[in-house]
A and B are shown apart, each in its own frame.
Chain A
Amino acid sequence: MTNSIAELENADCILVIGSNTTSSHPLIAMRIFRAKQKGARLIVADPRRIQLALMADLHVRHNLGTDVALINAMMHVIIKEGWHNQAFIDERTEGFEDLKKILDAYTPEKAAEITGVAADDIIRMAEYYAKAKAGSIVYCMGITQHTTGVDNVRTLANLSMITGHIGRESTGVNPLRGQNNVQGACDMGGLPNVYPAYQAVTDPDNKKKFESAWNAALSDKVGLTVSEMMSGLSHGPLKALYILGENPMVSDPDTAHVEKALKSAELLVVQDIFLTETARLAHVVLPGATFAEKDGTFSNTERRVMRVRKAIDPVGNAKADWEIIKEISNRFGYPMEYGTPEEIMKEISSVTPSYGGITYQRLDGEGLLWPCPTTDHPGTKFLHKDKFVRGKGLFYAVEFKPPAEVVDEEFPFWFTTGRVFAHYHTGTMTRNCPTLDSEIHEGFLEVNPGDAEGLGLRHGDAVNISSRRGLMTAKTMVTDRVTKGVVFMPFHFAESSANVLTNTVLDPVCKIPELKVCAVRLEKVA
């Protein structure tokens, strides 16, 4: 997030798009409730009637995958009405003219055709957001899990920059990271192109710096992404995969494809706390420890680094994950000699500029928000205060592109996925919490009452769902949370895994698969 969580309370307009916040980030929803209580305007753009829509000043249900058209039209209106912040644009950004040119075509009327949102509503969205003193945008996977994921994010950044709603308290473009420590995983260099703190592996200076810190020869070739690794396994060049605490058999699109890939590995190592669907395929399974069994830190979605503290010893013969990695490294012939996670953090802060000032001692109390370069730096509540990281904020002129797969006669329903309030991700942990499992213990398919009637489906009926990639069965939930022509399914449940159906097509830039849209056919199980 560009801004910290608590700042949301003081925004006077919040645009929530592609985030079912009360389910997936409930404690951020709390801040949105509070902002609303203080009089903020709440705009929810979501094809589903999510809980936040119940209290929104305006809820628009745009067609799946039409975010760019919707936001471009908002900007069209803002510029036409002169609600943009010219001073901010002049001082802090570049590329505005190019953006302006393409926005000409995005009249609310044209966007209405694409998005299914009434032109008047688009104008109101534009007005609420542009005229706010502090407008904040909150988004999640509903924006990123598209072939146009990067386009979507850039479009939201454009919107925040033309109105100057960025770089100030309670404004910003705020992605809610899907998983608990995904921020940390990225910060720590769990990415094929960067070392910790997003230092490019292709930059010779970085390479030199890490070679001397780590006392090893390093590669300057960008590595493979998850999806590339999967096809690398299927097609040969990749021979071994070491998976730490992930369950791609449930989380990744096109399960059949993932299974084939994992089964063709010469060596599959899985380190996890449960025997997941993925672990079952491994050659060796290493039992790791939960967050309650070790010391360490997590970085939450607002960039706050916080302590994890050991409450009990690992169960049975399980081991803390850092110890397992250390032992393997030692046996492999690359010695690691850390006695505690705190020692690892000392090394992290020495090579990771944004974590430079972070020590366990300083994390007591409220933790620290990075960038925190030195031990006397207080941490950073919001980013881009006086300038953007690259200097001037760059507008990208982004045109609307339809989703990779669209409905047709054979597959006439739009299919989308998401979370439910009682579960998290692939359910590895939450489905092993009896209370949560009893709250919701199976997958289901949300179908609009009109569609259900047409298909002869009643609440609780089993329904066959097929896409170009697979077939599965689930229970029908008849609800007007979804509009006609759209169906929704949570993805936490391995036995009715939504990802049997989803599309592996990737965003060309950031390689995120289009989990949020594909086309399916429905049939009542006879």
Chain B
Amino acid sequence: MDYRTVLTTCTHCGCGCNFYLEVLDGKVIGTIPCKTSPTNEGKLCIKGWNVHEFIQSEKRLTQPLLRKDGELKEVSWDEALDFTAKRLREIKDTHGADSIGFLTSARVTNEENYLLQKFCRAAIGTNNVDHCARL
């Protein structure tokens, strides 16, 4: 038996509520608002209360997909990552760094946003990085 409560921050809006995800034997079974949080003081909205429901949804992507003969097919990580890196390199070499663009995300962590813009600027060599969050 493995039962844990893990303190984290909500991903469903910019309020940044804190709650405990209730995890039983590897399954996230519930959300419990954090009483000592400065933002939500033990309360949540409907989106926060149900945030655990999408995490292990059956519709999650669980394997990389690569388009082959017009269709997305499951492939190994190695194949997907090699393909991506190789194509980025080819396009950079033929059309220049500014022919590549990146959209980073308001849904991933700060660390991940930092890393993607660093990859864009330092590895590719362009400032073509933006996010959709004006919308």
When C-beta atoms are compared, the residue in chain A nearest to B20 turns out to be A311
Smallest CB separation, A283 vs chain B (Å):
5
A101 at the interface (CB under 8 A from B): no
In-complex Cβ contact of A312 among B47, B55, B108, B127 (8 A): B55
Cβ-based interface call for B1 (8 A): no
Interface-centre pick from B12, B110, B130 (highest chain A CB count, 10 A): B110
Q: Are A224 and B101 in contact (CB under 8 A)?
A: yes
A344 touches B (CB below 8 Å): yes
Docked CA distance A305–B113 (Å): 14
Contact B65 A240 (CB under 8 A): no
Interface size range of chain A in the complex: 35 or more
Of the candidates A185, A315, A424, A432, the one whose C-beta lies within 8 Å of that of B104 is A185
Q: Which of A343-370 contact B (CB under 8 A)?
A: 344-345, 347-348, 366-367
Asked if B130 and A223 sit within 8 Å, CB to CB, the answer is yes
Nearest chain B CB to A510's CB is how many angstroms away?
Answer: 7
Partner of A284, one of B59, B83, B116, B120: B83
Given contacts A28-B15, A180-B10, contact A229 B65 (CB under 8 A): no
B120 CB → nearest A CB, Å: 8
Query: Given A184-B110, A188-B113, A188-B114: A292 and B52 within 8 A (CB)?
Result: yes
Flag B99-118 by CB within 8 Å of A: 1 or 0 each. 11111111111111111111
A251's partner among B80, B114, B115, B135 (CB-CB below 8 A) is: B135
Q: State whether A177 touches B80 (Cβ < 8 A).
A: no
The segment from A322-330, A400-408, A452-460, A475-483 found at the interface with B is A322-330
A253→B121 CA distance, assembly (Å): 27
Q: Inside 8 A of B14's CB, which chain A residues have their CB?
A: 25, 176-183, 300-301
Main SS class of interface, B: mixed
Quick one: given A221-B98, A283-B67, A422-B47, are A267 and B60 in contact (CB under 8 Å)? no
Chain A residues positioned under 8 Å from B116 (CB to CB) = 190, 242, 244, 325
Give 13 new A-B contacts, CB below 8 A, not counting A218-B122, A229-B101, A297-B110. A25-B13, A25-B14, A181-B11, A186-B131, A189-B117, A223-B130, A275-B65, A288-B108, A312-B26, A328-B119, A348-B110, A429-B54, A515-B135
Residues of A within 8 A of B110 (CB): 181, 184, 187-188, 296-299, 305, 345, 348
Q: Mark B43-70, 1 if CB is under 8 A from A, else 0.
A: 1111101111111110111111111000
Does A286 lie at the interface of the complex (its beta carbon under 8 Å from any beta carbon of B)? yes
Name A384-407 residues within 8 Å CB distance of B: none
Interchain CA distance A317-B80 in the complex, whole Å: 12
- Compute how far the CA of A304 lies from the CA of B39 in the bound complex, rounded to whole angstroms: 9
Residues of A within 8 A of B131 (CB): 182, 185-186, 190-191, 226, 246
Pairwise interchain contact B112-A27, C-beta atoms closer than 8 A: no
Name the B residues within 8 Å of A299 (CB-CB).
16, 110
Decide: B109 and A322 in contact? CB cutoff 8 A: yes
Chain B interface residue bracket vs A = 35 or more
Bound together, the chains give a CA A24 to CA B15 distance in angstroms of 9
With a CB–CB cut-off of 8 A, which chain A residues contact B115?
A: 322, 325-326, 329, 336, 338, 344
Q: What residues of chain B lie closer than 8 Å to A229, measured between beta carbons?
A: 101, 103, 128, 130
Task: Tell me how far the C-beta of B115 lies from the nearest C-beta in chain A, rounded to whole angstroms.
Answer: 5
Say yes or no for A450: interface residue by CB 8 A criterion.
no
Assess the B77–A317 pair: CB atoms within 8 A.
Answer: yes
- A435 contacts chain B at the CB level, 8 A cutoff: yes
Cβ contacts under 8 Å, B80 to chain A: 284, 286
Partner of A334, one of B60, B113, B122: B122
Q: How near does chain A come to B130, taking the closest CB pair, in angstroms?
A: 5
Q: Which residues of B contact A326 (CB under 8 A)?
A: 115
Nearest CB of chain A from residue B125's CB, rounded to whole Å: 6
Q: A244-B105, A298-B9, A334-B119 are in contact. Are A306 and B132 (CB under 8 A)?
A: no
Contact B112 A308 (CB under 8 A): no
Q: Confirm or deny: B87 has a beta carbon within 8 angstroms of a beta carbon on chain A.
A: yes
Closest residue of chain B to A304, judged by CB? B16
Q: Which of B7, B62, B114, B121 contacts A287 (CB 8 A)?
A: B62
Q: Which residues of chain A from 254 to 285 have a CB within 8 Å of any chain B CB?
A: 266-267, 269, 272-275, 279-280, 282-285
Bitwise interface map of A from 88 to 123 toward B, beta carbon under 8 Å scored 1, else 0: 000000000000000000000000000000000000
A310 to B23, CA, bound (A): 11
Identity of the chain B residue whose Cβ is nearest the Cβ of A25 in the assembled complex: B15
Residues 204 to 218 of chain A near chain B (Cβ within 8 Å) = 210, 214-218
Contact A238 B128 (CB under 8 A): yes
Q: Which of A30, A244, A348 contacts B102 (CB 8 A)?
A: A244
Given contacts A244-B103, A300-B15, A308-B8, contact A316 B134 (CB under 8 A): no
Query: B130 contacts A225, CB within 8 Å?
Result: yes
Evaluate contact between A328 and B114: CB separation under 8 angstroms.
no
- Which residues of the other chain, B, contact A221 by a CB distance below 8 angstroms? 98, 127
Contact status A181-B13, CB under 8 Å: no
Q: Could you give, for residues 18-30 of chain A, a 1 whenever the CB lies within 8 Å of some chain B CB and a 0 otherwise? A: 0000001111101
- Are A293 and B61 neighbours in the complex by a CB distance under 8 Å? no
By a CB distance below 8 angstroms, the chain A residues around B72 are: 275, 280, 282, 285
The interface residues of chain A lying within 8 Å CB-to-CB of B65 are 275, 282, 284-285
Binary flags per residue of A117-151, CB closer than 8 Å to B gives 1, else 0 = 00000000000000000000000010011000000
Closest residue on chain A to residue B44 by CB atoms: A27
B26 nearest CB neighbor, chain A only: A312
A-B contact pairs, 30 of them (CB 8 A): A25-B15, A27-B40, A27-B44, A180-B10, A184-B109, A188-B114, A191-B130, A192-B129, A195-B117, A222-B127, A224-B130, A242-B102, A244-B104, A245-B105, A245-B107, A248-B132, A290-B55, A294-B109, A298-B16, A298-B109, A306-B18, A308-B8, A318-B60, A322-B111, A328-B84, A329-B119, A348-B114, A424-B47, A435-B49, A515-B135
